[in-house]
Structure 1
Amino acid sequence: MSMEIIKNYLSSKPEAKIEHPFGDEVMVFKVKNKMFATLSIGKMGKGDGEAQDWWVNLKCDPDEALALRDIFDAVIPGYHMNKRLWNTVILNGSIPQGELERMMDNSYMLVVNNMPTKDREAIELQL
């Protein structure tokens, strides 16, 4: 999936907003002021002249986070995040679109499910 497809998919979630608190190069996706994803150019190999892949940080259940890292080489512990609760997915084309969408949906819903009942129910009506 391309960066544009990922950006559009994440921003299409109910009440999702994009912010840039870490500078223009990092898109932070929030729902009700709670972060559920980031999207940026990968940092490994920066400046060596090679093409760089986009990276998306996604919240994840701790057990599933470990399993995904075992299954996919392009899933690593969350870059600059709590490595127990976040994965970084390197968008190099090695993960099927359906699996990426499932990971993004899970990240969004983990955040929504931890919201106060009023906020959670308002969002659930839009799903």
Structure 2
Amino acid sequence: MKNKIIEYCIKKKGATKEYPFGFDPIVIKVAGKMFALIFEDKGQNPYINLKCDPLIADNLREQHDYVSPGYHMNKKHWNTITIGSTLLESDVFAMIDHSYDLVVQKLPKRLKASLSEMK
């Protein structure tokens, strides 16, 4: 599922895949701003950090064992999602969409306009 997640992220308008911290994590950005960090811990399930509205973040953490406060991130605004067997791909994609949308909403108008012009 990790490869599908990476592909889904980089298909977003303006998304880039970078390695600013070395080989791990893979950082996905839009207009230079992170919206996903994908980790592959050896011996464990991979996990992904995603930006999240604080109210939604708390709700997701209460509802799902695989969602926890963001690993090495601002715990109020980021969640860590452990990629495992009980996790639906569609749920991960919805969380990625939410993270991407939050970052794009904060971009200056000219950058948002350039994203909307992309195919």
TM-score bracket relative to the smaller structure: over 0.9
CA RMSD of aligned residues (A): 1.4
User: In the aligned structure 2, how far is the partner of 1:6 from the partner of 1:17?
Assistant: 14
Residue 99 of structure 1 is matched in structure 2 by 91
Alignment of 1:25-104 (within 5 A): 25-42=24-41, 51-104=43-96
| Structure 1 unaligned regions, length at least 5 | none
Q: Does 1:118 align with 2:110?
A: yes
Deviation, 1:18, is 0.9
Paired AA for residue 6 in structure 1: I
Give the deviation of 1:96 after TM superposition.
1.5
The TM-score with structure 1 as length reference comes to 0.88
- In 1, the alpha carbon distance for the partners of 2:77 and 2:14 equals 22
Offset from partner CA, 1:16-39 (integer Å, 9 cap, x none)? 111111110210000110000100
Shift in alpha-carbon separation, 1:117–1:73, aligned structure 2, 3 A: same
| Equivalent position of 1:7 in the other structure | 6
Moved over 4 A (4+): none
Mind listing any 5+ residue stretches in structure 2 that lack a counterpart? Answer: none
The number of aligned residues is: 119
| CA apart distance, 1:122 | 2.2
Deviation at 1:126, TM superposition (A): 4.0
Structure 1 residue 72: deviation in Å?
0.8
* d(CA) in 2 for partners of 1:91, 1:124: 30
Identity %: 39
Q: TM-score, normalised by structure 2?
A: 0.94
Alpha-carbon separation, structure 2, partners of 1:85 and 1:97: 22
